[in-house]
Amino acid sequence: MTPLLFCRHLAVLCIALLLLAPAPEARGADTVRLRALALDFNALNTQIRDNRVGKGEAKARFTELIQALSREYRAAGGVDYPVESWCFPLKGYGYRAIGGVRGNGFQLGGYDYFAGNRHTGHPSHDIFIHDQKQTGLDQATGKPVQVLSMSGGVVVALEKEWQPGSRLRGGKYLWILDPATQSLVYYAHNRALLVEVGDLVRPGDVIAEVGRTGLNAYQRRSPTHLHLTLLSVAGGLPVPSNPYRTLLTTKLTD
């Protein structure tokens, strides 16, 4: 192929790529739609949490929003990250920080997401930091421990305004929807949240700091920990899934 012919082919390829690529304003519109849907989900999650919506209505709206969020996530540039790329959710810690013995902290106990703040069971894992004085800081560094997004996805709900005396059990929490695995991941009892509703995240992104917020986690009897829950939404409604084996193999971050 002559240099002139090669240049012509290259020019045609570049034009084709430009035509196929979304315009900047279109990509921006996709991001706006994703954030709007995430805000809608956040509002629904708060209603469910506070038992201010009937279960039938809540389930219908939940399924509709999860499906819409999954579509818009990819339109807004969201990336599907495989489970193999997931990170351990506490920086500087590993699976030995998981409470219980061989994952027995995970207890279904009739858990129902739609029961909100009144739910029973513990379909979750508590991951403890070194904090004997219960200051909320790592005793070796004297600094907060960073909470990392285990998966990729979009932040769809959070609570930043918890104060001592509140009956809210999760304290300062956040939910991340991962459309790639159709999972909702819950991170609770945080000291501070570092993301907003509608933000896209990757595995290993810093999303919060471990804390002692929440009705029970605030009490002196409770060691400082991250409360982690994984719900599968592949069927349209949230079903608890035990991430223990996944946590054993996730990437560690120093």
Q: Could you read off the pLDDT tens digit of each residue along the chain, which spans 254 residues?
A: 554 444 444 444 443 333 344 444 444 668 999 999 999 999 999 999 999 999 999 999 999 999 999 999 999 999 999 999 999 999 999 999 999 999 999 999 999 999 999 999 999 999 999 999 999 999 999 999 999 999 999 999 999 999 999 999 999 999 999 999 999 999 999 999 999 999 999 999 999 999 999 999 999 999 999 999 999 999 999 999 999 999 999 999 98
Instruction: Report if residue 102 sits inside a domain.
Output: yes
Our count of domains for the chain comes to 1
Instruction: Report if residue 12 sits inside a domain.
Output: no
Instruction: Report if residue 223 sits inside a domain.
Output: yes
Distance, CA of 143 to CA of 56 (rounded, Å): 44
Instruction: Report if residue 149 sits inside a domain.
Output: yes
Helices (H) and strands (E) in the chain, counts: 4, 9
Instruction: Report if residue 19 sits inside a domain.
Output: no
Instruction: Report if residue 232 sits inside a domain.
Output: yes
Give me the domain span that covers residue 242.
Answer: 83-249
CATH number for the domain including 238? 2.70.70.10
3-class DSSP assignment, residue 227: strand
The secondary structure of 35-90, three-state, reads HHHHHHHHHHHHHHHCCCCCHHHHHHHHHHHHHHHHHHHHHCCCCCCCHHHCECCE
Instruction: Report if residue 152 sits inside a domain.
Output: yes
Instruction: Report if residue 47 sits inside a domain.
Output: no
